[in-house]
A and B are shown apart, each in its own frame.
Chain A
Amino acid sequence: MSKKPQRREPKAQPITPWEPYDLLSDSFEKMWNLTDGSLEPLGEVRELEKTVQVTVDLPLVRRKDIKVKLAGDILQIDAELNRCITFNRWGTVQKKCEFRSFHKSFRLPTKVTTIGAKARFRKGVLVVELPKAEEAHEVVIE
């Protein structure tokens, strides 16, 4: 019995959106929350040899109004603005909006400890240094 030649189905091509719309959606990614009147600050996480360094830009903030909390691998930064920032026609919502604080949670790349942690706040930039938690401990042979 001769085999029927198998018909080759054309490979399904993944549907990719037109690139300019990606650019547009990127452009309007929001860094604010109208519900609680908070803004997302700019920040970065860097893994160094012995520490994890988190830097956050907190303009219009006083040192005493910053709270830094570590819960597992999440570092949470909350800071009150020294004055309420009002936008009369805010972005796409086009209404009066007020912002009173910054809020951002950073996922850390590795386990850290608060023992020996340091933080400094200079010119509106917060730098937090968290020592990496040592996973392996050397066993001393007696």
Chain B
Amino acid sequence: MVETKSIKRVKYCLLGSPDVGLVGAIAVSFIIQALKMDVVASLDADILPPLLVVHDGIPQAPFRAYVKNDLAALISEVPVEPRTIAPVARAVVDWVQSKNVEVLFSISGVPVENRLDIEVPKVYGVGTSATMLESFKKGEVEPLEEGFMAGLHAVVMKECLKRGINNIVLLAQSHLQYPDPGAAASTINSLNSLINLGVDVKKLLDEEEEIRLKTRELMQRTQRSMSQMPKSSEQEIPMMYV
């Protein structure tokens, strides 16, 4: 991570990148805008795709870090390609560790077949320790008892387990291949309860259909990237203890 503004320490860090239903990307991007967070760092490496994004005429790296008070947010505007997941995950955890983050929250979705029949998506959680699991009660987060995790969040969690860093993965029930702002709103509400985030999701829900329309291309690109990963395994029960 290349820092443009030096940050010594943050209490909590959020991580979102385009994956299932774009849940993490939509949620973290909405939080960054709602809290008017400032960009402080970006990810740079030769293995990343040769891409820059331009916002208001300013060229920026697609993977950036934002900070406001004791909260940091890491967001990728493009899907993290499977071959770059491991080094990206290590860079993320290195940065989180260097800022003495108390808890890293990874935001994502878990695909459910009957999403159209669900009014308010449930949020499941996976935590690196018993203390993390205990905190789920505050945010109406249901512990994910059995299942698979794949992709960036899985590798980040593996790295956090190795280094003894607190990591919680929040997974909202979501569409697999359609952008799902409703699921993103559920994860934000959980964060509101878990860490007093104070972000109102009304605007996100009001603009839900417009967001779905505008994120079609990103969703399609993400789907292509996810098809190279065993993401569908998330709905299966692992072999052990069957």
Contact indicator B116/A27 (Cβ below 8 Å): no
How many residues on B have C-beta within 8 angstroms of the other chain's C-beta atoms?
21
Stretch in A107-115, A119-127, A129-137 with 4+ CB within 8 Å of B? A119-127
Residues of A within 8 Å of B210, CB to CB, are: 59-60, 85
One of A23, A42, A60, A123 near B49 (C-beta < 8 A): A23
B173-196 vs A, Cβ < 8 Å mask (1 yes, 0 no): 001011100000000000000000
Give the dominant DSSP class at A's interface.
Answer: mixed
Closest chain-A Cβ to B54's Cβ sits at a distance in Å of 10
Known: A26-B224, A27-B78, A124-B209. A42 touches B219 (CB 8 A): yes
Residues of A within 8 Å of B78, CB to CB, are: 27
One of A23, A44, A85, A124 near B177 (C-beta < 8 A): A44
Contact indicator A122/B116 (Cβ below 8 Å): yes
B213 at the interface (CB under 8 A from A): yes
Contact indicator B178/A125 (Cβ below 8 Å): yes
B221 at the interface (CB under 8 A from A): yes
A40 at the interface (CB under 8 A from B): yes
Residues of B within 8 Å of A85, CB to CB, are: 210, 213
Residues of A within 8 Å of B116, CB to CB, are: 122-123, 125, 127
The interface of chain A, by Cβ under 8 A from chain B, is 20, 23-24, 26-27, 29-31, 39-42, 44, 57, 59-60, 85, 122-125, 127
17 additional A-B pairs beyond A23-B81, A42-B178, A59-B209, beta carbons within 8 Å, are A23-B49, A26-B224, A27-B78, A29-B220, A39-B213, A42-B177, A42-B216, A42-B220, A44-B177, A57-B178, A57-B179, A57-B212, A59-B208, A59-B210, A59-B213, A85-B210, A125-B116
28 of the cross-chain contacts (CB-CB < 8 Å) are A20-B49, A20-B50, A24-B49, A24-B51, A26-B221, A27-B49, A27-B78, A29-B217, A29-B220, A30-B217, A39-B216, A40-B216, A41-B216, A42-B178, A42-B216, A42-B219, A42-B220, A57-B178, A57-B179, A57-B212, A57-B216, A59-B208, A59-B209, A59-B210, A59-B212, A59-B213, A60-B209, A60-B213
